Amino acid sequence: MMQAKILWIDDQIELLNSHIIFLSEKGYSIDTCTNGSDALEKIIETRYEAILLDENMPGMNGIETLKQIKKINRNLKVIMITKSEEENIMEEAIGKEISDYLIKPVNPNQILLSLKKTLNVRELIKDSNISEYQQEFRNLSLKMMDIKTWSEWSDFYLELINWEVKLSEIDDETMIEILNNQKFEANSLFAKFIQNNYESWIKNNDGPTLSHNVLEKYLIRQFDKKPLLLIVIDNLRYDQWKVIEPSILDYYTKESELPYYSILPTTTQYARNSLFAGIMPKKIHEELSQYWKNDNDDGGKNLFEKELLKYNLNRLNKGEINFEYFKITNLKNGIKVANSLKQMKKNDLTTVVYNFVDMLSHSKTEMEMIKELAPNDKAYRSLTKSWFMNSPLFDIIKNASDLGFKLIITTDHGTINVKNPTKIIGDRNTSQNLRYKTGKSLTMNEKDNIVYKNPHDISLPRTSINSSYVFAKEDFYLVYPNNYNYYSNYFKNTYQHGGVSMEEVIIPFVVLNPK
């Protein structure tokens, strides 16, 4: 194993000989230097893994030496050693991106531990995460077999996401594959749970908070003296929320996080219309037919969200609320809302629907570049985070914090990376979605799907007298027999929604207060 090469810069280096001998015995190669100027020459000539830097040196002090080191190699690890505990010195050193900070006198073991932490942090995190997950794997497997309630499923899914995000930060394909297999098994059990309970939830209103009652249960109680900003990020999975959350928490503190369940089908047409209207699709179709289109009708299926939201607020005796609604589908509109947010402080409620994540998931099907950029869930999360950090949506959130808006972030449904095709037969009027179908005379493998022969049983409209609904389970996607092999390959490993999986159904509703 190659020795890690270290440069120790201290004007009294001769007093540290015992420390240097100790570190050499532990496998480190130590070069020494008594001043900053000579040290900079050595750093230019020699590749060091880390620098031990005394802060209090005559001539060029430690802080000035640190500035010059970072100009030569910004990524070089620097451990600052000082007699001083003055706050301004520590802040300046941290601002220059030191890796660690030690207060004199230091013993050899302190130096050793700091070097290990600085140079081997990735390996230490990897080993720790793998060890923790290996210990937890059996507990998770036993736990999922014993889940009986919707809240237990929400908690379990969040545990899985936590492990998925942790393990995706390390390069261990074996552990990630084990977790993916565990998630597949969980989705199989979750689909059975939905199949056994969903109809009862709809009929008896005795299940989780669903799309059509989330605003009534969670939003209405948030109205207070602060202006309220509701952001609905279309098609945002829970794991995507978890990777953008830390950036948002720089500007907001989290008051509550309330998972809720998307209705079926887990699509914008059904779930988001119900979210805004506060009623199920069947009732929208019957009572607000001017705002509803069935799957096989021409035209946009989500053109009346503002009207549905107004209907819902009136229904909840909140008709006096002053609100505005914006749907952002491009960069220009996003920038416009970010720049004009100050004018919206007069509103009780400002609602923003942001469509980029949905467009991103669909573009993976249609564009080779996105397929390259997001071949798996880890890359999909990374792409989402990269977009978010440079998006007008993040600017809207930062500006909202400065202006004192209370913030709610939610979504209408999630999405799943589909892997397994399953055949379905229907007539020409059958809907086109890959994760659910509605139409008459549908023939499919019932083992791979959940079937509702009477749509009214789950408060969905009928497209014809004999129409039914079919929802794909787990990571299946529905393909017609014609050109089966072509379409199976074309849609494999793409992100789809409409069916039954934890990724599509269990979604966040997060309440945040400005810092």
Backbone angles phi, psi at 311, to 5 degrees: -60, -45
Distance CA 482, CA 349 (A): 49
Residue 481 CA: distances (Å) to CA of 345, 423, 431: 55, 6, 15
The phi, psi pair for 298, rounded to 5°, reads -75, 150
Amino acid at 172: D
CA angle 63, 93, 9 (to 5 degrees): 50
Q: pTM value?
A: 0.79
Q: How far apart are CA 145 and CA 152, in angstroms?
A: 11
Cα separations (Å) of 181 from 139, 273, 378, 452, 497?
A: 15, 34, 15, 28, 20
Q: Is 31 helix (H, G, I), strand (E, B) or coil?
A: strand
Residue 429, pLDDT score: 82
Which amino acid is it at 385? K
Q: Is 460 exposed, middle or buried (0-12, 13-18, 19+ CB in 10 A)?
A: buried
CA distances from 183 to 187, 500, 502 (A): 6, 13, 9
pLDDT of residue 1: 44
Cross-strand partners of 97: none
Peptide bond into 105 cis (omega under 30): yes
Question: Tens-digit pLDDT profile for the chain (515 aa)?
Answer: 457 899 999 999 999 999 999 999 988 999 999 999 999 999 999 999 899 999 888 889 888 998 899 888 888 889 988 876 655 555 655 555 788 888 888 899 989 988 888 887 656 556 656 677 777 778 888 899 999 999 999 999 999 998 888 877 766 677 778 888 899 999 999 999 999 999 999 999 899 999 999 999 999 989 888 899 999 999 999 999 999 999 999 999 999 999 999 999 999 999 999 999 999 999 999 999 999 998 888 888 899 999 999 999 999 887 788 999 999 999 999 999 999 999 999 999 999 999 988 777 777 766 777 777 778 888 899 999 999 999 999 999 999 999 999 999 999 999 999 999 999 998 888 888 999 999 988 999 999 999 999 999 999 999 888 899 999 999 999 999 999 999 999 999 999 999 999 999 999 999 999 99
Nearest to 408 by CA among 211, 210, 226, 229: 229
Helices and strands, number each (H, E), in the chain: 20, 21
Place of tokens 């998931």: 361
In our burial notation (b when 16+ CB lie closer than 10 A, e otherwise), range 53-86 reads: bbbbbeebbbbebbeebeeeeeebbbbbbbeeee
Spatial distance between the Cα atoms of 235 and 137, rounded to a whole number of angstroms: 29
Give which of 327, 335, 225, 226 is closest to 276, Cα–Cα. Answer: 327
At residue 42, the pLDDT reads 93
Could you give the 3-state DSSP secondary structure of residue 130?
Answer: helix
Q: Which two tokens stand for residue 384?
A: 């989402």
Rg of the chain on CA atoms, in Å: 28
Residue 512 CB contacts under 8 Å (≥ 6 apart), including other chains: 248, 249, 252, 253, 254, 255, 406, 407, 408, 409
